[in-house]
Chains A and B, each alone.
Chain A
Amino acid sequence: MADEKIHLDHNIIYSIVEPESRVLDLGCGQGDLLYPLVRDKRIRAQGIELDDQAIQECVRKGLSVFQDDIEKSLREYPDDSFDYVILNQSMQEVRKVDCVIGDALRIGTKVIVGFPNFAYFKSRFALFFRGRSPVTKSLPYLWYDTPNVRFLSIKDFKDFCAEKNIRIVESYYLGEKSTVRLMPNLFALNAVFVLTKKK
């Protein structure tokens, strides 16, 4: 099991990834997601991360990581290089999302995407009643100091997948402490999707 203090999304991704698979984690941070997978499931992991401190932390954990920008880092990989390409909490920081997802689907059999839901009811409340940009548990930043450049809802992402011919094979909607079943676009803080190319 992954450590309990680790986020719900990490636990879900941990359970999705098959043992001994090849995994590329885009925006792997300090390797908190990859480390338990390598330790327990003996996956072949590669992280990509830009932050200096995070890189050092990954190496401390024994992880292999490239210091690089996600948007420039995928080009060289041959097709089907990985079983999973993970974009957890990093897609919203990417400018050319369609290119990155397209490349991720090219080099990975499955793509796992996790992102904060902008249509969460507290976000809607902040915007509608308070007239202010939302600050929530999954979108904790103030407008002038956020790494996020893309703000999307669960429905937005589903539309995107339909338009780009991407198949959603699994979907998980996360609230504060557990998964959400009812009206996820309203009640989920985060979503995790497993994607493949449409055949």
Chain B
Amino acid sequence: MKTLLNMKKTKNENVNNNSIGVVETQYHTIAGQGDELSLESGEKLGPVTLAYETYGNLNADKSNAILVLHALSGDAHAAGLSLEDHSVGWWNDMIGPDKAFDTHRYFVICSNVIGGCKGSTGPSSINPATGKHYALDFPFITVADMVHAQRRLIDYFGIDKLLCVAGGSMGGMQALQWVSSYPEKVRSAVVIASTLKHSPQQIAFNEVVRQSIMADPSWYEGSYYEYGQPKKGLSVARMIGHITFMSDKSMEEKFSRRQKSDKFSFGFDPAFEVEKYLHYRGLNFAQRFDANSYLYITKAIDYFDMSGLNLIPLGKTVDTRFLIISFKSDWLYPSYQSQDIVRLLKKRHADATYCELNSTYGHDAFLVEINEQTTLIKHFLDKTFNGYMVAGKHGR
């Protein structure tokens, strides 16, 4: 397996030396007949394909594996360059040689969540029972179900204990879910701009998102696969998302009130730069993300609840170390939600670090604020991996 992993990391001139280079998404199928995933809803799902990428090399005792977990619209392509669509991974600035998740030292895995549409089994996949797209026959999935599927992938690699599970937003939820479901398998968790549970405000935004998709007449109760995506509804859904990912200040900095021309157009075509941006983002998204996946995954994160005793059951302790990060300008996952995680961890005597970073980028900060996150994550991982260097220069 190791040679296989090495083989796909061929050098490419287009990528600077500090990048992983060209990567290719791999596929692994789990949950075959008789071994289906038992979902939280009570339904069974199988077979399930998981799309994943890996970076770096797994060491001999398999103690350097990090599972990176993506957010709502993310995918397995977290780092490096994909030749398929010439895209760079969504956390490329954080994963690579000498980066926060240093691929010289660690073996990084990222897989697309089930319910998604980027290679893992989801509503747009073909239902083997009918030979057609699942559409709304796809069972409801939860964040726990996503994690149970990832666990099978980790088993496939023969990894008994992950050095770290890490992610922002929904990725942070999965990291918390890992601790809840498999505490003995997680040495540390990095939870960024995330929450123990969605507030009514967050559920409300998601409901508007879902309704805008379902209100599009070309959604056809989810059975649109022969006709193409419900583009209008999906792009409006994504526009709402993008508003919540930014901050008032970052929008002011990015667009202000700039327009195409100096004069008002007195028409409804997008003229303000912010309007054009939202339209562009919306349409772009409608071309690359399955509408039904958006419905299923938003529902999964609305159901997510790690509050109370759900994260660490009564009478149990966890050895997992935590790094919790929030951003001052994030109003979609405000700092108080990260502080709620911290409060819960304090009550349970868990080893944790919390930092609220200054950023004007709003929720997007976890993807773009690289420097401070890198310092925090790099040293946090180093401590988890190596402990203290007693014989180092400070030692006596």
Chain A interfacial positions (CB closer than 8 Å to B) = 1, 3, 35-36, 38-40, 44, 46, 52, 55-56, 58-68, 76-78, 81
Contacts and interface: CB of A to CB of B under 8 A. Distances in A.
Contacts of B321: 64
Contact of A56 (B375, B382, B394): B375
A64 B388 contact: no
B83 to A, nearest CB: 37
B98 to A, nearest CB: 16
Contacts of B372: 56
Contacts of A3: 394
Interface in B343-396: 343, 346-347, 349, 351-358, 372, 375-376, 379-380, 382-383, 388, 390, 394-396
B354 A62 contact: no
Where chain A touches its partner, the secondary structure class is mixed
B342 interface: yes
Contacts of A62: 379, 382-383, 388
Interface residue tally on B, bucketed by range: 20 to 34
Contact of B388 (A38, A44, A65, A76): A38
28 contacts: A1-B396, A3-B394, A35-B394, A36-B394, A39-B390, A39-B394, A40-B396, A44-B351, A55-B355, A56-B355, A56-B376, A58-B353, A59-B376, A59-B379, A61-B379, A62-B383, A62-B388, A64-B321, A65-B353, A65-B354, A66-B346, A66-B353, A76-B343, A76-B346, A76-B347, A78-B347, A78-B349, A81-B349
A6 to B, nearest CB: 12
B380 to A, nearest CB: 6
A60 B339 CA distance: 21
A63 to B, nearest CB: 8
Contacts of B394: 3, 35-36, 39
Nearest to A44: B351
Contact of B352 (A39, A55, A64): A64
Given A38-B388, A39-B395, A64 B346 contact: no
Interface in B211-261: none
Contacts of A56: 355, 372, 375-376
Contact of B353 (A36, A38, A39, A59): A59
Contact of A59 (B339, B349, B358, B375): B375
Contacts of B383: 62
Contacts of B382: 62
B351 A64 contact: yes
Given A64-B353, A77-B346, 15 more contacts: A1-B396, A38-B388, A39-B390, A39-B395, A52-B358, A56-B355, A56-B372, A59-B375, A59-B379, A61-B379, A67-B356, A68-B342, A68-B354, A77-B347, A78-B347
A55 B321 CA distance: 17
A26 B394 CA distance: 24
Contacts of B351: 44, 46, 64
A106 to B, nearest CB: 14
Chain A to chain B: the 7 pairs with minimum beta-carbon distance, closest first: A62-B383, A76-B346, A76-B343, A66-B354, A64-B353, A59-B379, A60-B379
Nearest to B325: A67
Contacts of A81: 349
Nearest to B384: A62
A35 B27 CA distance: 45
Nearest to B323: A59
B38 to A, nearest CB: 35
Contacts of A52: 357-358
A44 B319 CA distance: 12
A187 to B, nearest CB: 32
Contacts of A1: 396
A67 B355 contact: yes
Contacts of A77: 346-347
A196 B380 CA distance: 34
Contacts of B342: 66, 68
A81 B358 CA distance: 31
Contacts of B375: 56, 59-60
Nearest to B346: A76
B130 to A, nearest CB: 51
A55 B394 CA distance: 20
A59 B346 contact: no
Contacts of A78: 347, 349
